[in-house]
């Protein structure tokens, strides 16, 4: 079992700057609005952004602010779902819901907001949980898609960045056992 690193032992190399992340979020907001604004006006319903805690907090906040310039006030709601799926760098065998959404999702269009999609295993369970609430539709937006050769059962619909290496990423919500979420950039850990 890997011991929890001390903060001073972590070495992080910047991969994506604050400015690069901002630019990616702006592009995603424009793409999402082009798909959803006409749909929501036709259906006369709301888009619910469901952020996956804790990693998606900075991303969903920035994305919602960017989306606000395209959507009429009241057309977007934000809610959160907390899933426990990692301990350190290892994915747990059991995925557990720690906090469920409070917003009624039935008949609404749902956009799941993830910080990173890796194997897609957790995402598959998230989509299953939300599907049981009978939404009008479910799509997924991820800031980072960790590209794998194998096809996943659930692929994100909106992808900000693609990352192909096995390095552990932290910053802008991404963490290693709670370390690094507060960094304004995304970097990778260089093992000491």
Alpha carbon separation from 141 to 43, 127, 161 (Å, rounded): 21, 12, 11
Cα–Cα dist 148/163, whole Å: 9
Residue 81 is encoded by which pair of tokens?
């779902």
Q: Is 63 exposed, middle or buried (0-12, 13-18, 19+ CB in 10 A)?
A: buried
138 SS3 class:
strand
Reply yes or no on whether 115 is catalytic: no
Token pair 């929890």 in the structure block, residue? 4
Backbone torsions φ then ψ of 9, nearest 5 degrees: -85, -20
Cα–Cα dist 118/184, whole Å: 21
The residue from 62, 118, 175, 177 that is catalytic is 118
Cα–Cα dist 144/134, whole Å: 27
Cα–Cα dist 123/83, whole Å: 10
Cα–Cα dist 137/111, whole Å: 8
Residue 140 is encoded by which pair of tokens?
């997924």
Catalytic residues, which ones? Answer: 118
């Amino acid at each position: 079992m890997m011991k929890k690193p001390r903060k001073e032992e972590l070495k992080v190399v910047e991969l994506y700057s604050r400015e690069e992340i901002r630019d990616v979020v702006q592009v995603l907001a424009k793409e999402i609005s082009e798909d959803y604004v006409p749909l929501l006006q036709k259906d006369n319903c709301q888009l619910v952004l469901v952020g996956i805690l804790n990693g998606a907090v900075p991303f969903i906040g920035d994305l919602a602010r960017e989306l606000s310039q395209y959507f009429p006030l009241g057309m977007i709601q934000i809610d959160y779902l907390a899933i426990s799926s990692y301990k350190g760098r290892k994915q747990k065998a059991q995925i557990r819901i720690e906090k469920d959404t409070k917003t009624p999702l039935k008949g609404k269009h749902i956009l799941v907001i993830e910080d990173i999609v890796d194997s897609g295993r957790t995402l598959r369970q998230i989509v299953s949980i939300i599907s049981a609430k009978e939404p009008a539709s479910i799509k997924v937006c991820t800031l980072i898609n960790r590209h794998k050769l194998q096809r996943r059962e659930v692929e994100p619909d909106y992808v900000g960045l693609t990352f192909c290496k096995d390095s552990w990423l932290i910053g802008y919500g991404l963490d290693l056992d709670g370390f690094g979420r507060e960094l304004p950039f995304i970097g990778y850990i260089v093992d000491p």
